[in-house]
C-alpha cells in the first residue's frame, strides 16, 4: 500500500510538470493555431537560467526562479516576433515547421551553454522527505504538484477574468473579429509565447530539482508533453492538467510494478507508456478527452 | 466628418474592387450605402476600418479622413481607438463567449471605467440582453445576436458606427426593430454609415444615400429624393408604377438603368 501511494505521489509530481509544459503548448495553439515544437528548448533554457541565477549568481531561490521565467518569457516573445510573426496568414503547418527550426536553434544554444555538465538548480528541497498520511514522500514531489497547479491556476484566472485574457480568448476564436474590436493581435501572439516560455522555464526548474539535474539532453523529457496535449485535447487547459497527471501516474506505476509483474516487457518500459497511451487515444478519440465542443444554434 | 475620397482598393495586387469612391458621413447623421452583392460595400468598410490587410487587399489611391486627419495608414486597433466602431457582416459575435464577455471585449481599447458605463448603456438599449448576460452568445436568436453585435460595437462609445447589413437574415418585424434602434443610437449622438441591401429599411432611417455599383458611386442624393427616384424604386425597392406586370412582359422587356447608359 505504501509503495502504491509513494508511487502515485511521485507520478503526480512528474505529471504536474508535464501539465505545465502541456498548458504552454495549449496557450500558443489556442492563440495562433500553431503547435510550438520549440517548447522543449525553452524548458531546458529555463532550467539553465534558474541554475545560473541560483547557484552561480547566488540569488535567493524564489528570485532566481522568477528571473529565469522572465528571461525565458522574453526569449519566447522574441522568437515569436522574429520567426513567427512573418508567418501570420500562412498555413499553420508551415508555421509549425518554423517552430521546429526555432527548436533546433535554441537547442544548439542550450548545448553550447550547458556543455557536458549536469547542472543543479539549487532548489531548497533536495532529497529530504516528509510524511503524508503516514507515508514518506519526497518533498520535491509535493513542491512540484503545488507549484505547477498554482501556476496553472493563476493562468486560468488570468484568462477567465482579465481584460488581456479575454482578448487572448477572443483572438483564439476569431482573429479578424478580435482585430475589429481593437485587439492588437500581434501583441497577443507575443504574449502567448511569453506565457508559454515562462511556464516552460518553471517546468525546466522543477525537472532539474533534487536528484534530477539538468543536462542538455533533458529537453527530450519535454516531448512527453505531446502525449499530454493529445490526450487532453489541443485547446483545453483543463485537459492538459488531467492528462498530464494521468500520464505521470501511469508512468510512475509502470516503473514501480512492471519489472515485477511483466518482466518480459524489458527494462525502462515506463518511458514508452505515455506514447502507448497517446496511440490508444488517437485511435479512440482523436480530439482528446477535453476538446472544446462547438456551440451551434439548431 | 468621416470622408472617403477617390478611393481605390485592390485585392491580391490584381483585383480592382473600388474604382474611385467618394463618400461623406457628416457628424450626427445616418448615411445609407446601397448596392447589390459584389458591388464593393464590404470592401469599402474594410478600407475604413483597417481590415483590408487580413484579406490581402490594399488602398492604392485616394484617402480616408476622420475629421480631417488621414486614417488610411492606421491599423485596426488604432482606428477603433480613434472612434470608429463597426458591426461586421453576418454579426460575427463570439459564440463561445457569454453575452457579457462579448460586450466586454468590445470595450478592449476603452478604459476600465468605460466598461461599466458601456454595459449599462448596452443593457438599457437592449433589455433582451440584460436577462441573458451569463448565457452563451451562440444560443441567442438571430435578432438578439445582431443587437449584441451592435452593443459590442458601441462599447467604446464611437463617434462613427459602421453597420454592415444589420438586417441580414432577420424577420421583417426584427428588421423594423433594428431600424428603430439605429435611429435611437443616432439620436444619442453617434453618426452612422448603414450599408444595406434592404433599401427600403435603409432609406427610411437615413438622411442621405449613396448607391454603389461595381465599385463606383452611381448616385449620391438625399434619402427623400432617392425614395422617389424611379430607378431606385424599381431596382432597389422592387416597386414599379404600373403595378404588377405580367411575367411575360418581364421576359421581353428589361429596362436599362439610366445612370449606366
- Read out DSSP for B129-187? HHTTTTSBGGGS-HHHHHHHHHHHHHTT--SEEEEE-TTTT--HHHHHHHHHHHHHHHH
State which residue of chain B sits closest to A297, comparing Cα positions. B139
> What ipTM was predicted for this assembly?
0.85
State which residue of chain B sits closest to A172, comparing Cα positions. B94
Predicted confidence (pLDDT) at residue A24 exceeds the cutoff of 50: yes
Same domain, B129 and B51: yes
How many whole angstroms separate alpha carbon A111 and alpha carbon A136? Answer: 36
Task: Decide if A74 touches B, using CB distance below 8 A.
Answer: no
Please report where in the chains the cell 539535474 appears, as a residue. A213
Do residues A165 and A182 make contact, with C-beta atoms less than 8 angstroms apart? no
Name chain A contacts of B86, Cβ cutoff 8 Å.
180
> Mean pLDDT in chain A?
87
Nearest to B136 among A169, A183, A295 (CB): A295
Q: Which residues of chain B have pLDDT under 70?
A: 240-261
Same domain, B219 and B236: no
Position A116 scores a pLDDT of: 81
What is the separation, in whole angstroms, between the first and last Cα of chain A? Answer: 52
Tell me which DSSP letter residue B98 carries: B
Do residues B79 and B49 make contact, with C-beta atoms less than 8 angstroms apart? yes
Query: Can you tell me whether residue A248 is helix, strand or coil?
Result: helix
**Percent with pLDDT over 90 in chain A:** 43
Predicted confidence (pLDDT) at residue A190 exceeds the cutoff of 80: yes
Please report where in the chains the cell 520549440 appears, as a residue. A38
Position B227 scores a pLDDT of: 87
Position B252 scores a pLDDT of: 46
Predicted confidence (pLDDT) at residue A88 exceeds the cutoff of 80: no
**Residue B55's CATH number:** 3.40.50.300
Cell matching residue A231 = 490526450
Position B249 scores a pLDDT of: 52
Residue A239: its H or E element: helix A237-261
Position A201 scores a pLDDT of: 94
Q: Do B101 and A166 touch (CB under 8 A)?
A: yes
Position B255 scores a pLDDT of: 58
Across A276-298, b (16+ Cβ under 10 Å) vs e yields ebbeebeeeeebbbbeeeeeeee
Among B84, B99, B198, smallest CA distance to B147 is for B99
Name chain A contacts of B50, Cβ cutoff 8 Å.
179
Same domain, B194 and B113: yes
Cell matching residue A125 = 528541497
How many whole angstroms separate alpha carbon A253 and alpha carbon A207? Answer: 19
Predicted confidence (pLDDT) at residue A186 exceeds the cutoff of 80: yes
Q: What is the pLDDT confidence band of residue A56, given thresholds at 50, 70 and 90? A: confident
Query: Can you tell me whether residue B69 is helix, strand or coil?
Result: strand
Do residues B7 and B59 make contact, with C-beta atoms less than 8 angstroms apart? yes
CATH topology of domain A2-124+132-284: ABC transporter involved in vitamin B12 uptake, BtuC (1.10.3470)
Same domain, B138 and B259: no
Same domain, B43 and B160: yes
Number of domains, chain B? 2
Position A252 scores a pLDDT of: 92
Residue B135 burial class via C-beta count within 10 angstroms: exposed 0-12, middle 13-18, buried 19 and up: middle
Task: Decide if A292 touches B, using CB distance below 8 A.
Answer: yes
Report chain B residues touching chain A, CB-CB < 8 A. Answer: 49-51, 54, 75-77, 80-81, 86, 88, 92, 94-97, 101, 104-106, 108-109, 112, 136, 138-140, 152, 156
Same domain, B66 and B119: yes
Position A134 scores a pLDDT of: 75
User: What are the beta bridge partners of residue B58?
Assistant: B10
Provide the residue ranges of all domains of chain A, joining segments of one domain with +: 2-124+132-284
**Percent with pLDDT over 70 in chain A:** 96
Phi, psi for residue B71 in degrees, rounded to 5: -125, 5
Domain span at B14: 2-228
Same domain, B72 and B165: yes
Residue B46: its H or E element: helix B41-49
Tell me which DSSP letter residue B256 carries: P
Same domain, B221 and B159: yes
Rg value, chain A, Cα: 19
Position B251 scores a pLDDT of: 47
- Where helices occur in A34-138 by DSSP H, the ranges are 39-51, 61-79, 92-114
How many whole angstroms separate alpha carbon A201 and alpha carbon A216? Answer: 14
Determine the residue among A176, A181, A295 to mutate to test chain B binding: the one whose Cβ has the most chain B Cβ atoms within 10 Å: A181
Task: Decide if A90 touches B, using CB distance below 8 A.
Answer: no
Do residues A152 and A224 make contact, with C-beta atoms less than 8 angstroms apart? no
Q: Tell how far CA A12 is from the center of its chain.
A: 14
Tell me which DSSP letter residue B208 carries: E
Q: Do A182 and B108 touch (CB under 8 A)?
A: yes
Q: What is the pLDDT of residues A199-214, one digit of tens each?
A: 999 999 998 886 667 8
Q: What is the pLDDT of residues A107-156, one digit of tens each?
A: 999 888 888 888 888 788 877 888 777 778 888 888 999 999 999 999 99
Query: Can you tell me whether residue B212 is helix, strand or coil?
Result: strand
How many whole angstroms separate alpha carbon A166 and alpha carbon B239? Answer: 48
CB neighbourhood size of B116 (10 A): 10
How many whole angstroms separate alpha carbon B222 and alpha carbon B6? Answer: 20
Lowest mean pLDDT among A164-168, A267-271, B98-102, B120-124: A267-271
CB neighbourhood size of A224 (10 A): 24
Same domain, B159 and B233: no
Nearest to B77 among A175, A176, A183 (CB): A183
State which residue of chain B sits closest to A178, comparing Cα positions. B105
Same domain, B107 and B234: no
Q: Do B54 and A175 touch (CB under 8 A)?
A: yes
CB neighbourhood size of A97 (10 A): 14
State which residue of chain B sits closest to A181, comparing Cα positions. B106
Same domain, B141 and B207: yes
Position A189 scores a pLDDT of: 92
Same domain, B233 and B222: no
How many whole angstroms separate alpha carbon B223 and alpha carbon B228? Answer: 9
Amino acid at each position: 500500500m505504501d509503495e502504491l501511494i509513494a508511487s502515485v505521489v511521485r507520478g503526480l509530481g512528474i505529471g504536474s510538470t508535464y501539465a505545465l509544459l502541456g498548458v504552454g503548448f495549449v496557450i500558443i495553439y489556442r492563440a495562433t493555431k500553431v503547435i510550438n515544437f520549440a517548447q522543449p528548448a525553452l524548458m531546458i533554457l529555463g532550467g539553465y537560467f534558474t541554475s545560473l541565477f541560483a547557484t552561480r549568481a547566488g540569488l535567493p531561490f524564489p528570485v532566481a526562479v522568477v528571473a529565469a521565467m522572465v528571461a525565458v518569457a522574453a526569449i519566447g516573445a522574441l522568437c515569436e516576433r522574429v520567426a513567427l510573426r512573418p508567418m501570420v496568414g500562412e498555413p499553420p503547418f508551415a508555421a509549425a515547421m518554423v517552430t521546429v527550426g526555432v527548436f533546433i536553434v535554441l537547442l544548439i544554444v542550450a548545448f553550447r551553454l550547458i556543455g557536458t555538465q549536469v547542472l543543479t538548480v539549487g532548489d531548497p528541497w533536495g532529497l529530504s522527505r516528509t510524511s503524508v498520511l503516514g507515508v514518506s514522500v519526497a518533498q520535491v514531489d509535493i513542491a512540484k504538484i503545488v507549484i505547477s497547479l498554482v501556476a496553472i491556476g493563476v493562468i486560468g484566472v488570468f484568462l477567465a477574468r482579465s481584460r488581456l485574457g479575454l482578448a487572448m480568448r477572443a483572438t483564439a476564436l476569431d482573429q479578424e473579429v478580435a482585430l475589429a474590436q481593437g485587439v492588437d493581435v500581434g501583441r497577443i501572439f507575443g504574449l502567448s509565447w511569453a506565457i508559454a516560455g515562462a511556464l516552460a522555464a518553471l517546468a525546466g526548474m522543477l525537472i532539474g530539482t533534487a536528484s534530477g539535474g539538468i543536462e542538455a539532453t533533458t529537453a527530450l523529457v519535454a516531448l512527453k508533453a505531446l502525449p499530454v496535449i493529445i490526450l487532453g485535447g489541443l485547446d483545453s487547459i483543463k485537459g492538459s492538467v488531467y492528462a498530464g497527471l494521468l500520464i505521470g501516474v501511469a508512468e510512475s506505476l509502470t516503473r514501480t510494478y512492471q519489472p515485477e509483474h511483466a518482466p518480459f516487457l524489458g527494462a525502462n518500459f515506463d518511458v514508452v507508456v505515455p506514447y502507448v497511451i497517446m496511440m490508444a487515444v488517437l485511435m479512440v478519440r482523436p480530439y482528446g478527452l477535453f476538446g472544446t465542443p462547438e456551440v451551434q444554434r439548431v | 466628418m468621416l470622408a472617403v475620397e477617390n478611393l481605390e482598393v485592390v485585392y491580391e495586387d490584381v483585383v480592382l474592387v473600388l474604382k474611385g469612391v467618394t463618400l461623406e458621413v457628416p457628424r450626427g447623421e445616418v448615411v445609407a450605402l446601397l448596392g447589390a452583392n459584389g458591388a464593393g460595400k464590404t470592401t469599402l468598410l474594410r478600407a475604413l476600418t483597417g481590415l483590408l490587410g487580413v484579406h490581402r487587399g490594399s488602398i492604392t489611391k485616394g484617402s480616408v479622413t476622420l475629421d480631417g486627419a488621414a486614417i488610411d495608414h492606421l491599423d485596426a486597433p488604432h482606428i477603433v481607438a480613434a472612434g470608429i466602431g463597426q458591426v461586421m457582416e453576418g454579426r460575427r459575435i463570439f459564440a463561445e463567449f457569454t453575452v457579457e464577455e462579448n460586450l466586454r471585449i468590445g470595450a478592449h481599447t476603452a478604459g476600465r471605467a468605460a466598461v461599466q458605463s458601456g454595459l449599462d448603456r448596452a443593457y438599457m438599449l437592449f433589455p433582451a440582453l440584460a436577462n441573458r448576460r451569463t448565457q452563451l452568445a451562440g444560443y441567442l436568436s438571430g435578432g438578439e445576436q445582431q443587437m449584441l453585435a451592435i452593443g459590442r460595437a458601441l462599447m467604446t462609445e464611437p463617434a462613427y458606427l459602421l453597420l454592415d447589413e444589420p438586417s441580414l437574415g432577420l424577420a421583417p418585424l426584427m428588421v423594423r426593430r433594428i431600424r428603430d434602434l439605429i435611429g435611437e443610437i443616432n439620436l444619442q449622438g453617434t453618426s452612422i454609415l448603414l450599408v444595406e441591401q434592404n433599401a427600403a429599411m435603409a432609406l427610411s432611417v437615413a438622411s442621405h444615400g449613396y448607391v454603389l455599383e461595381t465599385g463606383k458611386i452611381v448616385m449620391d442624393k438625399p434619402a427623400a429624393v432617392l425614395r422617389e427616384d424611379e430607378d431606385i424604386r424599381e431596382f432597389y425597392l422592387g416597386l414599379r408604377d404600373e403595378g404588377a406586370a405580367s411575367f411575360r412582359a418581364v421576359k421581353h422587356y428589361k429596362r436599362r438603368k439610366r445612370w449606366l447608359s
